[in-house]
Amino acid sequence: MKKITIFSLHLGYGGIEKSVINLANLLSDCYQVEIISTYKIEDVPAFDINPNVSVKYLITKYKPNRDEWKDSIKRIRPIKFIKETYKALVVLINRRRKTTAAMKSCDSDIIISTRDLFNKWLGMYGKKNSYKIAWEHNHHHNDYKYANKVVESCKNIDTLVLVSDNLRNFYKKEMKNKNYKCKCVFIPNMLDMIPDSVSTLDDTRIISVGRLSREKGFVDLVDVYKEYKDKNPNTKWYLDIVGNGSERNKIADKIYTYGLNKDITMHGYLKKKELNELFHESSIYLMTSYTESFGIVLIEAMSHGIPCIAFTSAEGANDLIIDGYNGYLIPNRDYNLMIEKIEELANNKEKRLELGKNARSFSLRYSSDNIKKEWLDLLKRRG
């Protein structure tokens, strides 16, 4: 049985980390799979890992301290700044030393990198006859400096896997311009499970799930809901927010300031079973992200037969939502138009059912069986 090693920054909460674990689980019945995680930021991985998958942590004593470092600057605390700067240097030095050492000693037939920095190191230090794959989850968002960094990191990589066809076409052109031999392939992220039944769409609940960070736009989500509520003061529709992150307190403060504590519930992080139960009780999914590379949570909501509404600024949503078929796309972050679409679905169950049925059908394209076949086809190209 051939061996696959996946290099991950950490195995905490996040879309990339969830995708890494899903892929490892998916391939573990065909390959010997290991995950090498640079940091151990949680006592146990945030998502369930198949017992057949081995996990190795490179750094257990230190954790990234970017937020603490920034806070020391913001609060003008020079002593803390010096300590956090020293700690950051120690962390970065250990990250490079231990990750490159692991790549040099890695004897796997296939090695998958999940960060542009890891791509560069893998190309430099990975075993020459191994199949080197870079897996890019982020959208460049027209940041060509970042896009060029990704391209340069793949100079000595065999294949770059992208999560959207638009990104595949973009990077294929950029690789050609650089005369790099790295092939670009589109393989979407997958659903790790498809529910046996769908939501009845009877409950007056709106749901949104994700990391509570600025780019996910949850502060804007509260604003959108407030305007919807102001326009429809007698509405019985409630909003559920699922996730944790750096903006949790900011979002909670805004909910309190608006007096919406009884209308909006912040659930924090939910285990898969709990999240599926909440999906099953929801009837509309809202996404207000500023950026989104793929948006697997949209597919998860669709698998429960829930119609989705998202701003087009979330690039990944544009690949998943077919406007008027399985949900609605809102250009220019237009609050008023989003509220109109919420009202349309809230007031018309037949429309919810129509779009929800289409959403469920669309989501099946991303089943683990379909995505597994695409990955196996890619991996077998190198024998």
91 located within any domain: yes
Q: What is the CATH number of the domain that holds 326?
A: 3.40.50.2000
**DSSP three-state, residue 234:** coil
Nearest to 269 by CA among 11, 40, 16, 13: 13
Q: Do 222 and 176 sit in the same domain of this protein?
A: no
Could you tell me the sign of the dihedral formed by the alpha carbons of 55, 58, 61, 67, in that order? negative
Is there a single domain that holds both residue 40 and residue 88?
A: yes
Is 197 inside any structural domain? no
Q: Is residue 111 located within the same domain as residue 151?
A: yes
Question: Does any domain span residue 196?
Answer: no
Q: What are phi and psi of 287, to 5 degrees?
A: -125, 120
Q: Is residue 200 part of a domain?
A: no
Give domain status of residue 279, yes or no: yes
Whether residues 237 and 122 share a domain: the answer is no
Question: By percentage, how much of the chain surpasses pLDDT 90?
Answer: 78
Q: Which of 113, 106, 61 is nearest to 87 (CA)?
A: 61
Confidence (pLDDT) at 78: 84
pLDDT band at residue 71, thresholds of 50, 70 and 90?
A: confident
Give pLDDT, residue 295. Answer: 82
Give percent of the chain with pLDDT exceeding 70. 99
Residues 372 and 359 in one domain: no
Helix (H) or strand (E) holding 131: strand 131-136
Rounded Cα distance between 217 and 295, Å, is 13
Report the alpha-carbon angle 127-132-135, nearest 5.
Answer: 145
What is the sign of the dihedral through the CA atoms of 141, 285, 209 and 225? positive
Distances (CA, A) of 2 to 30, 154, 379: 8, 24, 11
pLDDT band for position 353 (50/70/90)? very high
Residues 186 and 165: beta-carbon distance below 8 Å: yes
- Structural domain that includes position 234: 205-365
Overall domain count for the chain? 2
Q: Is residue 161 part of a domain?
A: yes
pLDDT of 76 strictly over 90: no
Between helix 116-125 and helix 78-105 the angle, nearest 10°, is 40
Cα–Cα dist 152/279, whole Å:
41
pLDDT, average across residues 133-149: 91
Q: At residue 383, does pLDDT exceed 70?
A: no
Same domain for 275 and 210:
yes
Taking a C-beta distance cutoff of 8 angstroms, is the pair 65, 87 a contact? yes
Does the pLDDT of residue 74 top 80, yes or no?
Answer: no
**pLDDT (mean) for 174-192:** 94
Mean per-residue pLDDT, 309-332: 95
Q: Could you give the dihedral angle defined by the CA atoms of residues 14, 20, 21 and 27, in that order, rounded to the nearest 10 degrees?
A: 160
Query: Is residue 342 in some structural domain?
Result: yes
Same domain, 375 and 358: no
Cα–Cα dist 239/228, whole Å: 11
Same domain, 263 and 250: yes
Note whether 346 and 235 are within 8 A (CB): yes
* 297, 179: one domain: no
Instruction: List pLDDT tens digits, range 45-63.
Output: 888 899 999 999 999 987 7
Statement to judge: residues 156 and 231 lie in one domain = no
User: Is 195 within the bounds of a domain?
Assistant: no
In this structure, the answer to whether residues 76 and 179 fall within a common structural domain is yes
Could you tell me if 117 and 237 lie in one domain?
Answer: no
pLDDT at position 12 is 87
Residues 6+ apart with CB under 8 A from 27: 4, 33, 372, 375, 376, 379
**Ordered DSSP codes for 275-327:** HHHHHHT-SEEEE--S--SS-HHHHHHHHTT--EEEETTSHHHHHH--BTTTE
pLDDT at 85: 86
The pTM of this model reads 0.84
